[in-house]
Amino acid sequence: MKYLWTTLSVKEMERSLDFYQNILGLTLKRKFSPAPGMEFAFLADGETELELIYNEKVKDIKTGDSLSMGFKIESTDKFMEFLKEKEIDIHSGPFQPNPNIRFFFVLDPNGYKIQLVEEM
């Protein structure tokens, strides 16, 4: 068995693509429209992909309170400064639950929690 992707419903495809490509550094692998008013996009960093789905008929996206996606970063302080320059608010943190890890959370354009993790 192999883990392939995580799927997120999005409110605005272009805004979401901008965030995941230009803020988190994922690469767009493919994008297509399977039907009028729908768009699918697959982004990746390595083999595992993130699938974004836009459907103009779905207006209320439920992001869930317990879902978050984690991304490794080199420096908490530098990435927080980068986000500040991009006018992206820190949702919570930074936290350092032990000497080996430091992390904080932001929200993507749809309200999904993104955990940014520095391994020390």
| Residue 45 belongs to domain with CATH number | 3.10.180.10
Q: Do both 108 and 72 map to the same domain? A: yes
Residues 72 and 116 in one domain: yes
Residue-level pLDDT at 34: 94
Whole-model pTM? 0.91
Does residue 62 belong to any structural domain of this protein?
Answer: no
Within a 10 A sphere around the Cβ of 101, how many other Cβ atoms? 13
Task: Note whether residue 15 is domain-resident.
Answer: yes
Alpha carbon separation from 102 to 21, 72, 119 (Å, rounded): 23, 10, 7
- Residue pLDDT, tens place only, 46-93: 888 999 999 999 888 888 778 899 999 999 999 999 999 999 999 999
Counted domains in the chain: 2
Spatial contact of 44 and 50, defined as CB atoms under 8 Å apart: yes
